[in-house]
Structure 1
Amino acid sequence: MSNSLEGKVAVVTGGSTGIGLGIAKRFVSEGATVVITGRRRAELDAAVAEIGEKASSVQADVSVLSDLDALYAEVSKRHGRIDVLVANAGGGSLAKLGEITEEHFDRTFAINVKGVLFTVQKALPLMKQGGSIIVTGSTTSIMGTEAFSVYSGTKAAIRNFVRSWILDLKGSGIRVNVLSPGPIDTPALRGVADQAPGLLEHFSAVVPLGRIGDPDETGKVAVFLASDASSFVNGAELFVDGGLAQV
């Protein structure tokens, strides 16, 4: 432990499970105070107990703007600022072209695109010079994936958000980067795998490192992007994918 985030206040949306939980745990291990969000109270309570005493939670759905307002009001009340924001909440499910419904499209874009946009925009008044925003992307932003076009489209959209936002934030001293995981062993991936038997084995076969990743491995990279070690990294997309998107 290097305590590279000592004294920093971080907000991690979708922090109760999977990648978000892995990031939150790593942040606390590096000295940060972390506020996590999620839609389910029981999972939030369990996550806070797992992360430790420097963690707290606010129940919120990032696709509901009033929930985001309540989140940031609470963060302001508790801590007065945000040093690191991880816009991580998201999700998706399989649907082939020809089978995509309006409800499927609206739900996925509401969380992954609308939710990310307003998670970031509404946090800005609490962020100052030296702040770091990390948006969770995906290898699907640059790869074709069968039956996953809607989810993939959302991740391509937020990748361009970040390219544009660094221009909007010029002079603010706030950095924005994308952390794009490949296949990571999370409840979300296993939920998709339930719809596609053999998916996890397939990923292990095609990832050059020969395995899927662990949430803690995304957490380690998030610490880098959150810390002063990446002080001149801005607008980048850093893949945590064992090489999958690079071949």
Structure 2
Amino acid sequence: MLADHVAAKGRLVVISGAGSGLGRALARRLAADGDTIILLGRTLAKLEAVAAELGPRSHPVVCDVANAQSVRAAFAEIAERSPRIDVLINNAAIYQPTLVKDAKDLQIEAAVTTNFAGPIYCSRAAIPMMGRGGHILNISSETVGLPHAMFSLYQSSKAGLERFSEALRAELEPDGIRVTMVRAGQMTDEESTAPSADPEVLRRFAEENLKRGLDFRQRPISTFGSVADLIRALTHLPDDLNVPQIVLEARRP
């Protein structure tokens, strides 16, 4: 039973977008501490692969954070196994380069619902299962403060997430629940994929950003593992400290 693992090992951590990228790196790092990890994601096969790697303290739960009912069902499944969530990491996000004039309905809806509404849905579901000492971490992006081209949907949805984090922190402070916004820089790992599978979109994305002085081939880039190490530290703050927001920048080693 999941509850038995939690009792034996300590914290229960829920991570959205846990099937790949930063979410997977976070699951690996926190599982190494002995935390019980709930892996949320849309693709069961990816979640099962991560769970198989991490062992019995990790549990895949299919969840599309863009869908309110899917989030309700996922957190109901969690609640059946354990009454308490200690840490929620709202990491799931999508980014599809496009000019607004070319944006398809589904691209607009996906950006808003996944990157902005998704963390709201997950936070709403998790808060009743959190007590004093609980912690919600919302993963934002450095693109909010940079002049990226063709990223208006991603940037604006992440900017909304940052403002939501500020409001949620004030709301939950009396309950003893921390909220931290992490604005992360460019990062990668051996399995990273491009933001679009369309070569023409990628070519134009690179060209338009070069016009604005952003050459992705020259910009520093960090690893998911390094960022996961820092976020792990944020989940272990002393009781008398809080980190409302933190900005991470990649640097050349």
Task: Answer yes or no: same fold by TM over 0.5.
Answer: yes
Judge conservation of contact 2:85–2:134 (CA < 8 Å) in 1: yes
| Structure 2, gaps ≥5 residues long | 1-8, 207-213
* Cα gap change, 1:186 to 1:27, in 2 (>3 Å): same
Alignment match of 2:202 (pick from 184, 192, 196):
196
* Cα gap change, 1:148 to 1:187, in 2 (>3 Å): farther
Cα offsets for 1:87-116 (capped at 9, x unmatched): 111111010232223321111101111111
Judge conservation of contact 2:97–2:196 (CA < 8 Å) in 1: no
Could you say which structure has the larger radius of gyration? 2
TM-score, normalization by structure 1? 0.87
* Cα gap change, 1:241 to 1:188, in 2 (>3 Å): farther
Alignment match of 1:232 (pick from 224, 234, 241):
241
Alignment match of 2:135 (pick from 127, 132, 136):
132
Count how many residue pairs are aligned between Structure 1 and Structure 2: 233
Displacement of 1:26 in angstroms is 0.5
* Cα gap change, 1:124 to 1:224, in 2 (>3 Å): same
Alignment partner of 1:62 is 2:51: no
> Paired residue for 1:108?
111
Displacement of 1:189 in angstroms is 5.6
Displacement of 1:204 in angstroms is 5.0
* Cα gap change, 1:118 to 1:188, in 2 (>3 Å): farther
Alignment match of 1:220 (pick from 202, 216, 229):
229
Displacement of 1:202 in angstroms is 3.7
TM-score, normalization by structure 2? 0.85
> Paired residue for 2:126?
123
| Structure 1, gaps ≥5 residues long | 1-5
Determine the C-alpha separation between the residues in 1 that align with 2:106 and 2:217. 32
Determine the C-alpha separation between the residues in 2 that align with 1:141 and 1:230. 30
Alignment match of 1:241 (pick from 243, 246, 249):
249
Displacement of 1:128 in angstroms is 0.4
Determine the C-alpha separation between the residues in 2 that align with 1:202 and 1:158. 26
Following superposition, which runs of at least 4 residues in structure 1 exceed 4 angstroms of deviation? 186-189
- 1:77-96 pair list within 5 angstroms: 77-96=80-99
Equivalent residue letter for 1:240:
L
